[in-house]
Structure formats: C-alpha cells, structure tokens
C-alpha cells in the first residue's frame, strides 16, 4: 500500500457526480459563495445519462398551465405514491432552469455537455475526473467528505467538505439496450453504508430496445436522437383501460409466450413524439421492440437516497442529494411524462447546491485523521492485493443471470423473488469479499459489482415487501393495488447487526385518493388478472 499515493483536498461543498444534477448543484453552490469540488467517475458534463437527455418539461402559468391539473395528472399516472413537495419544487423552478440553459447556450444543440463544462469551469469549481468514490466520510454523525481512487494512476483521493451533494445518478445491472453501463448505484451504496435510508427500488424502469439491434445504446428503434434539448408539453392523463401503462406490455406479452409483439413507429411516428423533434436520417418505419433495455434501473426520480424534507436534505447531516440519486418520487410509481427527468434533475440540482452552500457556511471544517483515511485506502485497493478470487466480470455475469429474466424484476412473485434473493445473498456473502483485480480498470469493475449486488438485494427486498401491484411494480401473486396498506414508500436501511432492514413510510393523508372514487377511476390502467382478482 505504500506505493499508492494519497491526495487530500478540501472544499466547502463536495458534489459527487458530473451529470445534469451535479452541474446545476456545483454552479449554484459556487454562486452562493462556496468553494466547490466536483468528482466524477467519467467526464463532467458528459456523465451518466446526461448526453441521453433531450427533453425538458417546463411549468409556465403564462402559457395556461394549471398547478392543480399537473398535480392531478402526476398523482393519477404515478398512482399516488408521488411526492407532491418535489413536484411543487419543479413547478416553482423549472422555468428558471430552462432560462439558465438558454443563457448558457445549451438550447438548440445536442452537444450541450460542452456548455455544462464551460459553466463549471467559469465558476472555478475544482474538477476531479475519472475518479471513483467508494466511501463517504462521517465524523460526529455528520458527512464530511468522501474517499475514492483514480482510474488512471495508483492514487487514493480524499476530499473533505462541510457539505456533500450526492448527484451520482441511479444505476442498472450493465444492460446492453440503454446507455447506463457506467451507472452502478455508487451513490446509493455509499450512502447506505454510511447509514442513509434508500427508497423507490421496487419500481423498475421499462425502457425498450430494438429487437434488430438490442445493443444499440444510442438509439431506440434503429434511430439516432436529435436535435438537442426540447421543451415538451404538459403531462396528460393515461388512457382508460390501457393494460400496464408505459412500457409494461412487452413483459406481459413475454409472459404469455408471445414476445416480442410491440411493433410500432418508434417514439410517436414519423413526426416524432413532440413538436420540433426531428429524426436524424430516414425514419425506419414499424420496428419490433423488446423489453429490458434498462434492466436494474428504476423509474426516473424514484430510486435513491430517501429525502428527509422537501428541500433535498437527507437523514444524514451534511448530506444532500438531487436528480436520480434522490428518491424524490417526483413521478411516483411510473414515469409521468417526457421531460420530467431532465427538468427534475436540473431543478433539484440547483436547489441542493444552494441549500448545501448555506448549510456549509454555518459549519466548521472537520479533520479526518490519517488512520481513518489509510484504513479506507487499504480496503479500496484490497482486490489488487489478492492473488486469486472471483473476477468482477464473472461476478457481474452471475448477478445478471439472477436478475435479467423478465420474470424476476418485471413479472414478480414471491417464490421467484426469494429464489433470486438467495442467489444474490450468496454473491454478497461469498464472492464480493473475494473479488480480485489485475489493474485499476478491474478495480473499478470490482467496486461496481459490489454496488450492483447490494442494490439487487435492495430491489428484491423492496419488491417482496410491497405485496400489491402499483405503477411498474407488478406482483403476479398480488395483481391489484392495495390502498389500505401500501399508499406508502418502502425504505431500506442497514440495521445494527449489518443486515438490511425494511420499513414502510405512509404518504401524507392529504395526498391519498378519496376511497369514495371508484377503483377503476382511481386507477385507469389495468394489470393482467387484476379485475378477476378483485371480484374473488
């Protein structure tokens, strides 16, 4: 371990993650007067799903938008487990964030990442790239920084700060149909191990992929995206009686032995899904689509660190979160409308950066001793010191074998969830402690494998706990919504004995739908066998 350099840095605010939420957090923290450091596993401005984003939903009363209507649509489509405080934040701030993008020159180009980087540099943010953070630093029950390692040289990096903003995004199990292979729940894993509560894991994302080119990460339905960031229309109510809602039909078809069956012009037909959209190149016509393009990921803004308030705070002092790293439940149990993800990340990032800077201004710096840092350093680089063990690639493949079948995370039942959990717990207990790495790239893959396995356990335990169907969470053995017991969020946290604990947190009474509204009106979209089950 003496051959590995230790670099120690200090800042007022540390932002983890350089995507949309992270950029807005860093810029706004700097504008509030904080010295900001930003760490990203990849390249700031181009990280995570940032370069995939191209739609932005703006609430604007001058255009006739109604706050009450937006709340109604999001609650119905999100099936009443959405967080109204975070929707109000988006309604309050989305127009200002859209104006920021205009001012930065990011509108009208699909290369907006370079404008993000320009803003970060212009605000004198310390940029630390190609660095994977693995551990949050905690002193006196307060988060005071993080530790990780460079992907390019044998170097351990420690950043201490008076406040930390987690913007590391969500994650997946390295599927091939959606561009999230570098997103492995690193933020959730760090926060969970530090004592945070994690939520939203049971609602799987339902992005599809082209059957002809299922590994084509930069297009859906054999197309390329364009032409940059576009303002989208307000959300609309779902169609009455539609089975499964957004994206679930391929999984239901597969379960009937009749997949792939989805044949449609991708993204809304030749004219595109919204005004101003233009396909790059010729429209391919009807395309066969298959599910599972984003396996492992949850609905945007669902999974992540559970909020402790309506202002991006968490239950760990000094830790704030935004974007897909925060379980804001902006959309609830199902993605509400095109543009909510980009808009929500920008809004929450800006708010978290400002709140974190204000918090940091009232805190004194904490000194973390060399002994603590060196112990973390030794643990980080341990896989490089093993001569044998389990390779990250094989371990990841075993994780995928346990979770990729459609009948585990999409069409769920208790017996199959328990079977998958048994496999995951074996990987966690037997293989993760023995992961070995040959080089720094392998070391990154080892930590990513550990984080994905931890999150697989979270998803399976949350899915087992929610004994109903809601949003994109479908339990074949409980195919109906259960408002009496599950108008609640499922949260996971580490118990005193190190085991994963689960608890329900009811949504506020004022947000619940009236039981006097008939069931079919409360929930316009249908699950397979739902009405049959209700009439038993």
pLDDT-derived band at 222, boundaries 50, 70, 90: very low
d(CA 125, CA 11): 10
Look up residue 511 and give its DSSP letter.
G
Secondary element (H or E) of residue 8:
strand 5-16
pLDDT for res 153: 95
CA distance 416 to 407: 8
Distance CA 261, CA 243 (A): 14
Neighbouring residues of 178: CB distance < 8 A, sequence distance ≥ 6: 172, 207, 209, 217, 293, 294, 297
What is residue 221's predicted lDDT score, i.e. its pLDDT? Answer: 44
Kindly report, residue by residue over 41-52, the tens digit of the pLDDT: 999 998 888 877
Asked whether the beta carbons of 195 and 316 are under 8 A apart, the reply is yes
Judged on CB neighbours under 10 Å (0-12, 13-18, 19+), 284 is: middle
Contact 18, 47 (CB under 8 A): yes
pTM (predicted TM-score): 0.95
Q: Which residues pair with 160 in a beta bridge?
A: 10, 145
Buried b (16+ CB within 10 A) or exposed e, 327-341: bbbbbbbbbbbbbbb
Average pLDDT, the chain: 91
d(CA 486, CA 88): 23
Instruction: List the domains of the chain with CATH numbers.
Output: 5-204+296-361 (3.50.50.60)
> 65, exposed or middle or buried, with CB in 10 Å at 0-12, 13-18, 19+?
middle
What are 106-151's pLDDT values in tens digits? Answer: 998 878 899 999 999 999 999 999 999 999 999 999 999 999 999 9
Residues with Cβ within 8 Å of 366's Cβ and at least 6 positions away in sequence, in order, are 139, 140, 142, 144, 160, 162
**Distance (Å, whole) CA 256 – CA 250:** 10
Q: Is the pLDDT of residue 83 over 50?
A: yes
On the 0-12 / 13-18 / 19+ scale of CB atoms within 10 A, 358 is middle
d(CA 279, CA 287): 15
pLDDT of the residue at 239: 78
Residue 269 has pLDDT above 80, yes or no: no
Query: What is d(CA 390, CA 373) in angstroms, rounded to the nearest whole number?
Result: 26
Q: Where are the beta strands (DSSP E) in 151-297?
A: 155-166, 198-199, 209-210, 230-232, 262-264, 287-290
pLDDT, tens only, 359-403 = 999 999 888 998 999 999 999 999 999 999 999 999 999 999 999
Tell me which residue of 504, 501, 471, 472 sits closest to 485, measured CA to CA: 504
Q: What is the pLDDT of residue 184?
A: 97
What is d(CA 220, CA 213) in angstroms, rounded to the nearest whole number? Answer: 9
Q: Could you tell me what percent of the chain has a pLDDT over 90? A: 77
- How far apart CA 368 and CA 335 sit, in angstroms, is 41
Tell me which DSSP letter residue 265 carries.
Answer: -
pLDDT attached to residue 378? 95
Given a contact cutoff of 8 angstroms between Cβ atoms, the answer to whether 356 and 144 are in contact is no
DSSP 51-62: GG--EEE---GG
Of 342, 273, 331, 290, residue with least CA distance to 472 = 331
Summarize pLDDT for 312-345 with one digit per residue, the tens: 999 999 999 999 999 999 999 999 888 999 999 9
Name the phi and psi angles at 127, rounded to 5. Answer: -105, 120
Mean pLDDT value across residues 454-481: 97
Q: What phi and psi values does residue 442 have, to the nearest 5 degrees? A: -65, -35
Interior angle at CA 430, CA 176 and CA 501, nearest 5: 80
């Amino acid at each position: 371990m003496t051959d590995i350099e230790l670099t120690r840095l200090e800042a007022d605010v540390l932002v983890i993650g350089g995507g949309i939420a992270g950029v807005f957090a860093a810029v706004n923290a700097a504008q509030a007067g904080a010295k900001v450091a930003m760490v990203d596993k990849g390249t700031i401005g181009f990280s995570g799903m940032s370069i995939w984003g191209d739609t932005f939903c703006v609430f604007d009363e001058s255009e006739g938008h109604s706050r009450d209507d937006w709340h109604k649509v999001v609650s119905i489509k999100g099936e009443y487990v959405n967080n109204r405080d975070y929707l109000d934040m988006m309604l309050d701030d989305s127009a200002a964030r859209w104006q920021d993008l205009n001012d930065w020159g990011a509108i009208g180009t699909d290369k907006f990442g370079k404008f993000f980087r320009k803003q970060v540099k212009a605000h004198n943010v310390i940029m630390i790239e190609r660095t994977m953070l693995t551990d949050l630093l905690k002193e006196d029950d307060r988060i005071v920084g993080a530790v990780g390692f460079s992907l390019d040289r044998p170097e351990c990096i420690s950043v201490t700060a008076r406040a930390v903003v987690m913007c590391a995004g969500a994650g997946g199990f390295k599927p091939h149909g959606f561009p999230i292979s570098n997103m492995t729940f690193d933020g959730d894993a760090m926060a969970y191990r530090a004592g945070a509560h994690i939520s939203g894991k049971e609602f799987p994302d339902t992005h599809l992929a082209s059957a002809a080119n299922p590994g084509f990460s930069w297009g859906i339905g054999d197309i390329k995206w364009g032409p940059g960031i576009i303002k989208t229309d307000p959300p609309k109510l779902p169609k009455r009686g539609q089975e499964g809602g957004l994206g679930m039909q391929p999984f239901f078809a597969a379960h009937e032995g009749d997949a792939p069956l989805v044949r449609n012009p991708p993204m809304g037909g030749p004219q595109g899904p919204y005004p101003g959209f233009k396909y790059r190149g010729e429209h391919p016509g009807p395309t066969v689509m298959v599910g599972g393009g984003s396996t492992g990921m949850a609905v945007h803004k669902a999974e992540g660190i559970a909020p402790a308030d309506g202002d991006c705070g968490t239950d760990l002092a000094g830790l704030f979160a935004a974007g897909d790293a925060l379980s804001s439940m902006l959309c609830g149990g199902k993605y509400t409308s095109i543009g909510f993800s980009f808009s929500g990340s920008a809004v929450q990032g800006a708010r978290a950066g400002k709140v974190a800077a204000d918090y940091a201004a009232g805190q004194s710096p904490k000194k973390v001793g060399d002994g603590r840092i060196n112990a973390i350093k030794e643990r980080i680089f341990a896989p490089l010191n093993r001569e044998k063990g389990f390779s990250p690639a094989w371990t990841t493949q075993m994780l995928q074998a346990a979770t990729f079948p459609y009948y585990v995370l999409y069409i769920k039942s208790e017996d199959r969830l328990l079977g998958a959990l048994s496999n995951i717990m074996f990987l966690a207990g037997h293989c993760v402690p023995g992961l070995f790495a040959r080089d720094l790239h392998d070391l990154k893959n080892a930590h990513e494998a550990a984080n994905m396995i931890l999150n697989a356990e979270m998803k399976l335990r949350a899915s087992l706990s929610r004994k109903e169907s809601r949003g994109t969470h479908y339990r074949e053995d409980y195919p109906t919504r259960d408002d009496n017991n599950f108008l609640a969020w499922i949260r996971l946290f580490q118990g005193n004995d190190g085991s994963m604990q689960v608890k329900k947190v009811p949504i506020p009474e004022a947000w619940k739908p009236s039981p006097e509204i008939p069931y079919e009106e409360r929930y316009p979209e249908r699950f397979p066998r739902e009405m049959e089950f209700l009439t038993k």
